[in-house]
Amino acid sequence: PIIYAITPTYARLVQKAELVRISQTFLHVKNFHWIVVEDSPVKTQLVSELLAQSGLRFTHLHTETPKEHKRKESDPNWLKPRGVEQRNLALQWLRENRELSEEGVVYFADDDNTYSLRLFDEIRSTKRVSVWPVGLVGGLRFERPLVEKGRVVGFYTAWKPNRPFPMDMAGFAIALQLLLANREARFDLLAERGYLESSLLQSLVSIEELEPRADNCTKVLVWHTRSEKPKMKQEELLQKQGLGSDPSIEV
Ligand code: UGA
Ligand code: MN
């Protein structure tokens, strides 16, 4: 099966660094197709060129998050769900461009996480929905599905444990055929904080059907890392003196 990784992304100082980092991980993954969806009214030159030069098989899409759902600079990062319309557009693209007969697996790969290559070996055999631990998330060292006799029986998580699927986006993959057969399944832009993952998974599987990976969910192969926002104090000072850095040099 081919692995489709869906990555929402938006313009910010660390965007190129994040995309370079994960694209160079993905270069090591065989039979891989990267679907990059920009949260932007246009396809930007930065992302277009990065993809063209990446050496990866890719699809480049864009859709801007509606204003009323977009986080303002002053809002706390958790106030609104992020990357929702972008992931939904990628699902729509798959439904319009792929046949039910194709064997594939879909993974939602945010641009800031850290991915072990071993994760993709685990993902590839997904029959319906596979699950595994995610490191450095939910205020814990890791969150993970709890497995007994090869079946998921619950979740190790501290935050809102009563969610239907208390898992981070990085902790599951879905068979392409399941998504093509359930054409209405999508992420809910209005989902309450923490319920985004559940909003999609609820219409696709039950907990008993989940397929544990990574040695019965005892290995961490993906980390919910987040990059620090770079400080631009000196840049701003120099700009005021007309000595800002050369804007034609891309960062
Ligand atoms: C956590 C989860 O890991 C995300 O998968 C989930 O979308 C998010 O919470 C949520 O509740 O919406 P977190 O690290 O806080 O993630 O979110 P980000 O990494 O900032 O954003 C997730 C993805 O959406 C990233 O790929 C990011 O580039 C993209 N994004 C973020 C946009 O496309 N537009 C934005 O305005 C912000
Ligand atoms: Mn993130």
Residue 3 is encoded by which pair of tokens?
Answer: 């692995």
Separation of 165 CA from ligand 1 center, angstroms?
18
Q: Is 6 in the pocket of ligand 1 (CB under 6 A)?
A: no
- The mean predicted confidence, pLDDT, of the chain is 96
Full residue range of the structural domain in which residue 170 is found: 2-240
Separation of 101 CA from ligand 2 center, angstroms?
33
- pLDDT value of residue 100: 94
- pLDDT value of residue 78: 67
Whether residue 250 lies inside any domain: the answer is no
Is 18 a residue whose pLDDT tops 90? yes
pLDDT tens digits for range 105-145: 999 999 999 999 999 999 999 999 999 999 999 999 999 99
Separation of 42 CA from ligand 2 center, angstroms?
22
d(CA 95, CA 89): 10
Q: Is 83 in the pocket of ligand 1 (CB under 6 A)?
A: yes
| Residue ranges in the chain assigned as alpha helix (H) | 15-26, 45-52, 84-97, 117-123, 176-181, 196-201, 214-217, 233-240
Separation of 62 CA from ligand 2 center, angstroms?
19
How far are the Cα atoms of 16, 32, 74 from residue 209, in angstroms, in the given order?
Answer: 38, 25, 41
Burial of 26 from C-beta contacts in 10 A (0-12 / 13-18 / 19+): buried
Q: Is 143 in the pocket of ligand 1 (CB under 6 A)?
A: no
Residue 84 is encoded by which pair of tokens?
Answer: 């929702």
Supply the residues annotated as catalytic: 197
User: How does residue 75 score in pLDDT terms, banded at 50, 70 and 90?
Assistant: confident
- pLDDT value of residue 77: 66
pLDDT tens digits for range 197-215: 999 999 999 999 999 999 9
Whether residue 205 lies inside any domain: the answer is yes
Q: Is 9 in the pocket of ligand 1 (CB under 6 A)?
A: yes
Atom of ligand 1 nearest to the CA of 7: 26
Ligand 2 ion: nearby residues, β-carbon < 5 Å: 110, 112
Whether residue 217 lies inside any domain: the answer is yes
Whether residue 111 lies inside any domain: the answer is yes
- pLDDT value of residue 81: 84
- pLDDT value of residue 69: 73
Is 76 a residue whose pLDDT tops 90? no
- pLDDT value of residue 71: 64
- pLDDT value of residue 134: 98
- pLDDT value of residue 74: 74
**Contact yes or no for 236/2 (Cβ under 8 A):** no
User: How does residue 80 score in pLDDT terms, banded at 50, 70 and 90?
Assistant: confident
Whether residue 246 lies inside any domain: the answer is no
> Which of 110, 114, 200 best tests ligand 1's pocket when mutated (most atoms within 8 Å of CB)?
110
Burial of 158 from C-beta contacts in 10 A (0-12 / 13-18 / 19+): exposed
Whether residue 214 lies inside any domain: the answer is yes
Whether residue 75 lies inside any domain: the answer is yes
Is 147 a residue whose pLDDT tops 90? yes
Residues 152-176, mean pLDDT to the nearest whole number: 97
Whether residue 248 lies inside any domain: the answer is no
d(CA 52, CA 58): 9
Is 73 a residue whose pLDDT tops 80? no
For ligand 1, atom 7, which residue shows the shortest CA distance? 82
We report the CATH number of the domain holding residue 235 as 3.90.550.10
Is 30 a residue whose pLDDT tops 70? yes
The question of ipTM being above 0.85 is answered as yes
Domain count, the chain: 1
Residues 56-68, mean pLDDT to the nearest whole number: 94
d(CA 38, CA 180): 23
